[in-house]
Structure 1
């Protein structure tokens, strides 16, 4: 943490929104402007709740940036080496982050504002968000929406009613109820995200 007499650092407020979902899934994070794209990728992974098991790319002003993987895609430059300061992002300017080229999770990232802070506190930091992120390997937006409909609140009520209609043998009803509650959980826990962000070496 910087002291009061220390130099102020430039902090960016970014809004990350996953395209194609309703209700929307989004996160608002604060990051130092000197953050490299490779670390921004890790921040997004933590904020969304993914495990970084697939390829990704950034598209900024018409150019692609990502990790170098032989025989996969050729990027303009390697993301891990490039800081956000290189782009001189304007307020409200946006760019795109795509994760998992099979599922094609497309996220719109908007630079909402730039702040100079002498005592910025923990960085990076998630300050707001809404909605649970889709599971890592569910197969994309359409498959996720199908699975969400299959495990909706209405389906849960129908399942409870079916238990009353006849003798259904369950090995452990509590385990099945727990599975339903996990599927129905639409909450976003900012504290968990910030606990994980503290572990990043930003």
Structure 2
């Protein structure tokens, strides 16, 4: 796993579906929903089916969290960024999230859900090589290298600016600062609850 631990504390409605929970987690972490995923709950796999991906037995949009009758302190898994091993013929995951049911609370009439009430640590960037790759790149990154690159851009007027490389450096600068933006997460969760799923995921960044 990653050290120090990255975590989010969320409040969600019991009538939220597995599909809802998938997108809520994507938004809360800052993932972009560009990879396959699945939940493992009570020994069964659930998830949003995608072309060329895992074929689930149930429709994630029809399975509500209330159906599982979760108990306090119960845990289940959410695995994201799956790939296949041709040699083994099995799925492997790059990211494994442990979901813990901390409390089951009565719904308050004036409360807008889902909502993130706390969290710590910035989400790893997509395609960074899993936990090991993320920690290695994070530990090797330095503000000094970042400033050196920016200085070279300013000094060389003929240099062709590589926007992708600049974006990557900006991402790792955020990782170095390690500041979780809960307000932005809640802004996007509110947009999701209002039905604006697609545009939110297109604009995702690590949070």
Bin of the TM-score, shorter chain as denominator length: 0.7 to 0.9
- Checking the alignment, whether the CA contact within 8 Å between 2:47 and 2:60 is kept in structure 1 is yes
- Checking the alignment, whether the CA contact within 8 Å between 2:78 and 2:98 is kept in structure 1 is yes
Segments of structure 1 that go 5 or more residues without pairing to the other structure are 1-19, 164-168
Distance in 2, matches of 1:67 and 1:86, equals 17
Distance in 2, matches of 1:95 and 1:108, equals 6
Please name the residue that 1:156 is paired with: 143
- Checking the alignment, whether the CA contact within 8 Å between 1:63 and 1:76 is kept in structure 2 is no
Q: 1:189, CA displacement in angstroms?
A: 1.1
TM (norm. structure 1) is 0.76
Distance in 2, matches of 1:196 and 1:52, equals 14
Please name the residue that 2:23 is paired with: 42
TM (norm. structure 2) is 0.74
Choose between structure 1 and 2: higher strand proportion.
1
Q: 1:194, CA displacement in angstroms?
A: 0.1
- Call closer, same or farther: CA 1:88–1:139 in 2, change over 3 Å: same
Please name the residue that 1:143 is paired with: 133
- Checking the alignment, whether the CA contact within 8 Å between 1:96 and 1:107 is kept in structure 2 is yes
Distance in 2, matches of 1:189 and 1:159, equals 22
Q: Deviations over 1:66-115 (max 9, x none)?
A: 12345532323222220001100001101000011035210000111111
Count the aligned residue pairs: 173
- Checking the alignment, whether the CA contact within 8 Å between 1:131 and 1:188 is kept in structure 2 is yes
Distance in 2, matches of 1:190 and 1:45, equals 14
Q: For the aligned residues, what is the CA RMSD?
A: 2.6
Where in structure 1 do 4 or more consecutive aligned residues deviate above 4 Å?
Answer: 157-160
2:67 to 63, 70, 86: 86
Please name the residue that 1:108 is paired with: 98
Distance in 2, matches of 1:138 and 1:109, equals 22
- Call closer, same or farther: CA 1:117–1:147 in 2, change over 3 Å: same
Distance in 2, matches of 1:115 and 1:95, equals 19
SS at match of 1:196: helix
- Call closer, same or farther: CA 1:117–1:183 in 2, change over 3 Å: closer
- Checking the alignment, whether the CA contact within 8 Å between 1:28 and 1:127 is kept in structure 2 is yes
Pair member with larger Rg: 1
- Call closer, same or farther: CA 1:159–1:75 in 2, change over 3 Å: closer
